[in-house]
Structures are given as C-alpha cells and as structure tokens.
C-alpha cells in the first residue's frame, strides 16, 4: 500500500504560506507517495486547485491528488484547463479525484443547482476528456481549447462515492475508486467487490485509494481533542463519535492503524492530519517508518 498525506489547505484559520509550502516540501523530501487536497467550497479553506499548483511548484517527485474535487457545481471547461496546467507544472504528477458532491450549500455558493448532479457529472467528465484529447491537436500555427495535460492519455481519474450506484459509476467511467473516511473494516469488505466489478468492465488494474483523518501526539486524549476541534469546524457536526473517525495517539499507535488499512487490500491511503502544526508531518513519517510502508 502506498501512503500519502493531505495538504493543510483546509486547516483554517491556521494555514498560511509557510505551513502549506513547508509541508509540501517536507512530504516530498520524506518520500511520501502523494499530497491530497479536500474540497469544500462553502468554507474558508484554500482553493484545492490553487493549493496543488503551489505544491507543484515546490516539489519534484510526489504525486498531487484532488481527493476529491466536486465537479457538478463547477464549470468543467475551467476545471479541464486548471487540471492540465497543474499536470504540466508538476511534470505529470496529477491524479484527478472527483465526485458529485452532496452538500447543498457547496452548490449554492457557486451558483449551481444540486438537482441532476449525477447526470451532469457524467457529461462533464466526458467533456473534460474530449477537451484534453482535442487539445493535443494544437500546433505552432493553430491554437485550440486547452492546454492538454502532460500525462498520456490523461491523468488517472479516481471517482468517489459510497452507494452502489456511485461505485458502479466509478468502475464504469474511472481508472480508480476513492473511499472517503470509511475505515479499514468497511474498505476490506468492499474492495474485493469493487475489483470484481472492475474486471467485469475489462479493467484488470483498477486502482483503489482511500482517505483517513489523524491527530498524532503522545497523549491520545489531547491529540483527539485537538484534531476534533478542526474536523468539527470543517463539517459543522459529526455523524459519529470523534474517536471512530479520527485516528489518534503516538506514532506507534498510528503505525498499527496504518497496518489495518494495508490489510484491507487498498492500493493507497492518504491521511489528513487535523492538527495544524508542521511537526505533525514529522510524527506521521515516524509512523510510516514504524509500519514499514512505502511512501
């Protein structure tokens, strides 16, 4: 299992230039596999695509992933251009994670309707792929709608969701599926089914990625409380007890939790550290090393 970490773009009001860029550089130098961004338009988080573009400029090898970017509340032409630029800025390191979104306020703030978002999503995704393909027809004499991304034929597309319909959509349209913070037990239950559905679509190497939240510290209670404050600020309210959602404790405990995800059979885990302190990344790397994971 490959291991990534989230950028602190949602850790408002603490995120600033130093935290974001130092975090990105350190994750790159530590050999982590990916940097992810979460998307919530109706919030004071930093824009996920601008944040990834900034990370692209100060890193060399780490993958850059939208995990996920809501699409039906955005203009897909603009998204296609922005993603292609990030892919070129990063020399082909972008993974495009996307989903339909489900919070009405995230649609209202962007002036979009939440109704019919599933059908709209599929049309938008097809249009993005068309734009990227046709952009390769540009010549020195003739410009076209673009640019095209650097990766051929395009950046990997991961599609998120948790219902059977959204998982089947991901298998049908995407190169991979991305879980939210469902936990390793649920992922272990669903991953074999996802791979079976992908094989039925002729996709033998279908990627399965996942997200998790964590707060790291020698005092588990204090680490949980600090991380919970940030997660509640982001969501407003939680759908489960914080200890069920946020991995917490010293690096050795986080290493044990990481092993549970590896046993679930997923390809990649991206952990969002919910305490706005650069030292969290160093503790996470310690946990990675104790768990003997790559990335």
- Tens digits of residue pLDDT in 48-77: 999 999 999 999 999 999 999 999 999 999
The token pair at 62 is 């780490």
The answer to whether the beta carbons of residues 156 and 105 sit under 8 Å apart is: no
Q: What's the predicted TM-score (pTM) here?
A: 0.97
For 231, phi and psi rounded to 5 degrees? -70, -40
**E-only strand ranges, 217-258:** 246-249
Between the CA of residue 287 and those of 29, 57, 232, what are the distances in Å?
Answer: 16, 27, 25
Is residue 158 within 8 Å of residue 169, measured between CB atoms? no
| pLDDT per residue as tens digits for the range 158-171 | 999 989 999 999 99
What's the pLDDT at 167?
A: 96
Tell me how far CA of residue 98 lies from CA of 66, 81, 174, in angstroms. Answer: 7, 15, 10
What ranges do the domains of the chain cover?
2-291
Out of 1.10.287.10, 3.30.565.10, 3.20.20.30, 3.40.50.620, the CATH code matching 2-291 is: 3.20.20.30
How far apart (Å, rounded) are the C-alpha atoms in residues 248 and 256? 11
70-125 pLDDT, tens digit each = 999 999 999 999 999 999 999 999 999 999 999 999 999 999 999 999 999 999 99
**Is the distance from CB of 38 to CB of 6 less than 8 angstroms?**
yes
């Amino acid at each position: 299992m490959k291991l990534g970490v989230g950028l602190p773009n949602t850790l408002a009001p603490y995120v600033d230039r130093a935290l974001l860029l130092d975090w990105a550089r350190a994750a790159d130098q530590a050999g982590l596999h990916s940097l992810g961004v979460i998307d919530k338009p109706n919030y004071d988080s930093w824009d996920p695509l601008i944040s990834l573009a900034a990370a692209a400029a100060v890193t060399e090898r780490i993958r850059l992933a939208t995990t996920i970017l809501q699409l039906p509340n955005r203009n897909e032409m603009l998204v296609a251009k922005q993603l292609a630029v990030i892919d070129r800025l990063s020399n082909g390191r972008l993974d495009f994670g996307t989903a339909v979104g489900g919070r009405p306020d995230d649609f209202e703030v962007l002036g979009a309707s939440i109704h019919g978002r599933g059908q709209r999503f599929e049309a938008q995704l097809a249009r993005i792929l068309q734009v990227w393909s046709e952009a390769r027809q540009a010549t020195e004499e003739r410009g076209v709608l673009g640019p095209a991304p650097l990766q051929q034929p395009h950046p990997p597309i991961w599609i998120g969701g948790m219902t059977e319909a959204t998982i089947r959509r991901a298998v049908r349209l995407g190169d991979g599926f991305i879980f939210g913070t469902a936990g390793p037990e649920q992922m272990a239950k669903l991953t074999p089914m996802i791979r079976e559905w992908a094989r039925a679509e002729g996709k033998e190497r279908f990627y399965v990625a996942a997200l998790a939240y964590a707060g790291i510290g020698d005092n588990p209670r204090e680490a949980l409380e600090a991380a919970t404050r940030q997660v509640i600020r982001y969501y407003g309210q939680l759908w489960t007890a914080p200890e069920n959602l946020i991995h917490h404790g010293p690096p050795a405990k986080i290493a044990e939790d990481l092993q549970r995800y590896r046993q679930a059979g997923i390809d990649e885990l991206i952990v969002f550290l919910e305490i706005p302190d650069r030292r969290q990344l160093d503790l996470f790397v310690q946990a990675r090393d104790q768990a003997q994971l790559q990335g």
